[in-house]
Amino acid sequence: MLEMTTTQSKELFFTALKGQNFSPKTIRAYGDDLTQFIQWVSKNRVDFDNPTRFTRMDIEGFMNYLAGQNMTGVTRVRKLAAIRKFFAFLEVNTIIANNPANTVKGARREEKEPSVLYKEQYKALLFEASTSLRDYAIIMTFLQTGLRLSELANLKIDDIDFENKLLIVRQGKGKRDRQIPLVDEEIKALQNYIHYRNTELIIDDDILFLAKNGTSLNVSTIKYIVAKYIKKAGIRKKASVHTLRHTFGTHKIDKGMSIATLQELMGHKKKETTLKYIHMAKTNLRQEMMETVL
């Protein structure tokens, strides 16, 4: 067996993840989850820095602790996945003899119906954002392309192909580029914003959406922008950036887009992820129709 401390093993694990081309965001998430687990164990065991001393009961105890902190099943499943991957890495590299996480059962995931904006709601959202060329273009891009938050934050000027009416998502989730057709109103919003961007801002990079000082917007700022207009539009349901992505998928299915095409546009690895939009279209848009009649 290769003798290493838990601390050394964790650093080696992160080095391996980088070598396997995992995204910085994924590596950060693993780091946060593993650090929390090891810190919890360190309060209960003096030999926590010896990876061979970890047992199934340590992991079960941590999962029970998280449940006591009212963490969701989804969060607990994610943290367990990080712990499993860490110990699997140690086992493969003969740092430990067996993976103590193999037989630990994950928490049940809560079934939540994702929120979707009705037509009048997303129209109100766009109306409220219309006083800002940048913010209007951001909201419009989310609604018309279904981009993830990180994908929009990383968009560059060259990712917009106005001639062919395409938006190119480079190195999105799963490391696979994809192209999304742009509708005319989205093209107009982007053109108006880019004209303002190129004439009014002090630009220091080629990122598409910028702050007033010319620096790129971080994901927290984009979340704040979207939340601000959701509140201004009087939308009372729980909504976020991801709601705009759900809205894109649901309305595309309602208009007859095939599952295969939507899967490609949204960058889903699994067809099952896309299939949920059929149910969402039936439930959410039926409710919208009833409210319109009333």
Q: Which of 148, 197, 251, 252 is catalytic?
A: 148
Instruction: Please check the confidence at residue 197 and state whether its pLDDT lies above 50.
Output: yes
Instruction: Please check the confidence at residue 293 and state whether its pLDDT lies above 50.
Output: no
Is 195 one of the catalytic residues? no
Task: Tell me if 178 sits within 8 A of 264, measured CB to CB.
Answer: yes
Q: Which of 56, 156, 173, 276 is catalytic?
A: 173
Is 245 one of the catalytic residues? yes
248-282 confidence digits (pLDDT tens)? 999 898 888 999 999 999 998 888 888 888 867 76
Q: Which of 10, 134, 197, 268 is catalytic?
A: 268
Backbone angles phi, psi at 108, to 5 degrees: -70, 135
Q: Which of 79, 245, 246, 251 is catalytic?
A: 245
Instruction: Please check the confidence at residue 111 and state whether its pLDDT lies above 80.
Output: no
How far apart are alpha carbons 248 and 244 in whole angstroms? 6
Is 268 one of the catalytic residues? yes
Is 76 one of the catalytic residues? no
* Structure tokens belonging to residue 252: 């595309």
- Pairing mode of beta strands 160-161, 178-181: unpaired
121-172 confidence digits (pLDDT tens)? 999 999 999 999 999 999 999 999 999 999 999 999 999 999 999 999 987 5
Using pLDDT thresholds of 50, 70 and 90, give the confidence band for residue 221. Answer: very high
H helices present in 132-258, as ranges:
133-145, 149-153, 184-200, 219-232, 241-254
Residues 9-16, mean pLDDT to the nearest whole number: 94
Q: 3-class SS at 162?
A: coil
Is 176 one of the catalytic residues? no
The structure's pTM equals 0.62
**Domains identified in the chain and CATH numbers:** 6-92 (1.10.150.130), 119-293 (1.10.443.10)
Q: What percent of the chain has pLDDT over 90?
A: 65
Helix axes 24-42, 56-68, angle to 10 degrees: 100
Residues 44-73, mean pLDDT to the nearest whole number: 91
